[in-house]
Structure 1
């Protein structure tokens, strides 16, 4: 493996820094320190929750620097970066309170004996995070894990190693012990060494379905618990009675967030036939109003793709789109403000067959298919017609339609008359190839625990029972 990771600004293509790749010995040391710290860390809930609160305050104190680092390393617009930082602080605060939650239950069995079910920290946990939301997606999983009492070894995406270190350093400044939360640096080989380590008992991974499958296989070999949030192909299902302007505007913006490099991005807009032509015209107008530009500017809607490799991947799908359907607008390479990064205008595609790769595969770029359907049943079937099931939205003014469609769409989150309405209180995760497990909410804490049955033989009923 290479000895150094180079972190690059995707807008300017300038080098931001170089970071040494962690050696096998350093991965071993990080896991060993986390294991040694586990018992004391897990046993001091009051301290853990106070540190989550203090970490939130440090994030708020350093919010401008964190946002600037996110812009520089991900290319996301500064407005999005500020929201990401704010979400980190809010999540840390939330779990500082929810960490007082006592899971499990107790009861008297039919023979008069007592059973007490308790939840205990699962142990040393590996966290492997992506480049698109390096702060939000780390804290989304790490905060409930700390509340549960696990110790953590984090391996960030190479592209966002520096901002991840910056965020974790704020935790250290708040008092989080370095052996309770540590970072290792590298690509796939380092991740494999971490996931495959015998002492690691759980893995939290956010990223592509392909890599998630590989991590799942490696974790299964060690019988480790996995939290996998993987790819998506999320659809907005817009019925004819919906507020069309709000549905289209919201869905389009959700499709180009972080230049479309988001697992929950709205990559498909399904419109009921009576309003389909009207919707295509209006979406084209709305897309023209989006600003591709310098992500440091307040007016920018889309920044660059993360790399040339990702740019080439998206351009490949645009070639497929031009063959299988019609690119109504967008898909052009541009260099706003003279920046050399890999920018694309957002593309709207119509006329695609449902089996097109543009419909079926996770592109991770600003490419949105606009598709027509007739009945409620048709709309649900079309939304379910991909191997993914991370999120969806239903737009309608009829509560029965909203309920019927939402219950039948196979996705971990379905929003009615909204999109990306995530909150720390509500669990999220995927169906089908979009993942396993749940993060956020009480379920986010329970994800990092194991359930134990403690049985009390009482009333002279000691012994065994089949």
Structure 2
């Protein structure tokens, strides 16, 4: 279905992008990209050595300290970002295919969502054009010029599950701010980032402003702990996020962390179930549940539990599961054997804790190859169970009943993560009043929306800081106050 040697250049397949050029790795280390559908190797890609990592750091540092990018006006940087978005638009079909080939995202969904990444770049191109990087405030003794200046060298660490949209959100904001960047993609899905580097070279991004290399744990830690790096933006697991936070604390490196979620969808007693489930299902287990904002916990009034659970069971059993290259597929395989074993261990945990499986519950017997797990629905779930507290990152939903709004809010807020959530009601203002009580960074009323102008991030252990919107740009800026004396009026007559 995907031929890396036919569809990708030799540069993307075999090199790193450093100083505006394609550099051969100094190490012989490689890692395989595995097709989750066939379990076959798509491509062997190089891994950086410590020397490669240091080269990328030095390139980004020199481009910030001596290059034109941080000194350019916002509208000038915005114009380059707009050209980059145009170049990526021309590669959109390839980028969608890469998403499917590397991690098994169903091609229909990949084709639709690639546009969200390009939209994010365009948003920051337009924001850079109008953003006030300097304002003047009157003081008793003169004025203060409050400047918002680029933070410096930004290390952007991108996860495997949605590499292109997440990369565009981070990179668009960092470049709009005037930072120079090192991008470290996940070894499971690095190809999107390298294709973007091709486009950056095509549109004339100054050398060293964007540097891309694939790295393993040791070299990734080297990048994070470097005193030459001023800002780290990471999306990934809580465990890795904690390690990054500790390393950043040593140098007081600025950081943004997005560390996943355990999001609840609350159906109020007046919600129309078919309408609510129509809005909810695209966000309940998109990409086999391997999305951080999946609405994986469904909370319903106790008197409607049987009705809601039956309707959810029917909907999950009707989801087309199969080859992600087929346009009708909505549920494909999970990433790899490690991910499959993780999900299956949570399913086993739910069983042993006393939860009941209404549908699913194991590997699909329909497929001889690939890591296919049946869409699974648990009832008889309590908030102390691991399946109700911890992010599973797989096609698993739970249904829990509540007896009052206060109890629903308590259940929604029980996990130590707070990334997303949603509330469904025929009265949007009533749903809004409930949404305001949920301790998460994002809540949808009668559905969720993906828009680059809105900040995204989490409460509690879901992370620190926000991406998206003006807030995402601010995350890559430092603030400087310059005090100016009062200008005396002179008589020129």
Compute the TM-score of the two structures, normalised by the length of structure 2: 0.90
1:125 aligns with 2:154: yes
- The match for 1:24 is 50
Moved more, 21-30 or 383-392: 21-30
- The match for 1:315 is 344
1:332 aligns with 2:362: yes
| Deviation at residue 115 of structure 1 after TM alignment | 1.4
Query: Per the alignment, do residues 217 and 2 of structure 1 end up closer, same or farther by CA in structure 2, a change over 3 Å counting?
Result: farther
Moved more, 53-62 or 100-109: 100-109
CA distance in 2, matches of 1:372, 1:179: 54
| Deviation at residue 162 of structure 1 after TM alignment | 2.0
- The match for 1:134 is 163
- The match for 1:115 is 144
CA distance in 2, matches of 1:379, 1:182: 46
1:235 aligns with 2:261: no
CA distance in 1, matches of 2:94, 2:344: 33
1:378 aligns with 2:404: no
> Which residue, 427, 431, 436 being the options, matches 1:407?
436
| Deviation at residue 452 of structure 1 after TM alignment | 0.6
> Which residue, 87, 91, 94 being the options, matches 2:123?
94
Please list every run of at least 4 consecutive aligned residues from structure 1 whose deviation after the TM superposition is greater than 3 angstroms. Answer: none
CA distance in 2, matches of 1:395, 1:78: 29
| Deviation at residue 171 of structure 1 after TM alignment | 2.4
| Deviation at residue 63 of structure 1 after TM alignment | 1.2
- What do residues 162-182 of structure 1 show as CA deviations (whole Å, max 9, x unaligned)? 232123322222222341111
- The match for 2:472 is 444
Name stretches of at least 5 consecutive residues in structure 1 with no aligned partner.
461-466
Secondary structure of 2:206's counterpart equals: coil
> Which residue, 418, 426, 429 being the options, matches 2:454?
426
- The match for 1:245 is 274
- The match for 1:288 is 317
> Which residue, 165, 182, 187 being the options, matches 2:194?
165
> Which residue, 192, 207, 213 being the options, matches 2:242?
213
| Deviation at residue 2 of structure 1 after TM alignment | 8.3
Equivalent pair of 2:344/2:362 in contact (CA under 8 Å): no
Name stretches of at least 5 consecutive residues in structure 2 with no aligned partner.
1-26, 489-493
Aligned-residue RMSD, C-alpha: 1.6
> Which residue, 79, 84, 99 being the options, matches 1:70?
99
- The match for 2:392 is 363
- The match for 2:35 is 9
| Deviation at residue 274 of structure 1 after TM alignment | 2.5
| Deviation at residue 339 of structure 1 after TM alignment | 5.4
CA distance in 2, matches of 1:438, 1:446: 9
> Which residue, 270, 275, 293 being the options, matches 1:264?
293
- What do residues 78-125 of structure 1 show as CA deviations (whole Å, max 9, x unaligned)? 11211231112111111111112114532222x333112110000001
- What do residues 123-164 of structure 1 show as CA deviations (whole Å, max 9, x unaligned)? 001011101000000101110110000000011000001232
CA distance in 1, matches of 2:95, 2:417: 32
CA distance in 2, matches of 1:399, 1:301: 29
CA distance in 2, matches of 1:44, 1:114: 24
| Deviation at residue 376 of structure 1 after TM alignment | 1.3
- The match for 1:305 is 334
Equivalent pair of 1:352/1:369 in contact (CA under 8 Å): yes
CA distance in 1, matches of 2:274, 2:200: 43
- The match for 2:303 is 274
Equivalent pair of 2:143/2:483 in contact (CA under 8 Å): yes
| Deviation at residue 459 of structure 1 after TM alignment | 6.0
- The match for 1:463 is none
1:189 aligns with 2:197: no
| Deviation at residue 246 of structure 1 after TM alignment | 2.4
> Which residue, 148, 170, 173 being the options, matches 2:177?
148
Query: Per the alignment, do residues 116 and 306 of structure 1 end up closer, same or farther by CA in structure 2, a change over 3 Å counting?
Result: same
Equivalent pair of 1:59/1:167 in contact (CA under 8 Å): yes
CA distance in 2, matches of 1:404, 1:49: 38
